[in-house]
Amino acid sequence: MRNSLRRLLPVLHTLSAIFMLWKALSVVTNSPCPVHVVISESMAPAFHRGDIIVISNLEHEIRVGDIPVVWFSKTPLPMVHRAIKVLWGTRDGGRDIQQLILTKGDNNELDDVALYPGDRKYVYRDEIIGVVRGYLPFLGWITILLNEVPYLKFGLVGGLALISAFA
């Protein structure tokens, strides 16, 4: 039993180090999710399916041409599209003036108004979790394959378990 736990300790150490790195990156970038995988071709040619994007949320204002990552509440995934129009206005008849952003995918013919919740015409600044600052091409295909081919996930977990059992 003690030997099994001793073998498990390096795995737990590695997992905790990865978690701490993720949290440190979240603090440095001021974003809850500083890394994402592109899952569609809506931003081609800027990004393609399988690219990993790195984001930061350090700027207070979004500018036309920026690529904000918008995450609406009650949606499972964020939307990564370019800001094509930026205005200042109030939210739903409120008094506070804030940024209103219209987005569009580079590879889409129409803007994203149809993708916004309700009858809204713009995204609010507080729905943006960051702006794209860089990308790594193709590296996200691992995540896409693990999500789209469920047997691959079980095979990977099983293979790692076998390796750790006989190592």
Alpha helices in 38-149 (DSSP H): 141-148
Active-site position among 31, 36, 42, 51? 42
Tell me if 112 sits within 8 A of 96, measured CB to CB.
no
List Cβ neighbours of 38 (8 Å cut-off, separation of 6 or more): 47, 48, 49, 50, 51, 52, 53, 80, 135, 140
Task: Tell me, yes or no, if 42 is annotated catalytic.
Answer: yes
Longest alpha-carbon distance in the chain: 65
Active-site position among 81, 92, 96, 164? 81
Instruction: For residues 156 and 164, give the distance between their C-alpha atoms in angstroms, rounded to a whole number.
Output: 12
Task: Tell me, yes or no, if 112 is annotated catalytic.
Answer: yes
Amino acid at residue number 56: S
Tell me if 31 sits within 8 A of 56, measured CB to CB.
yes
Residues marked active site are found at: 42, 81, 112
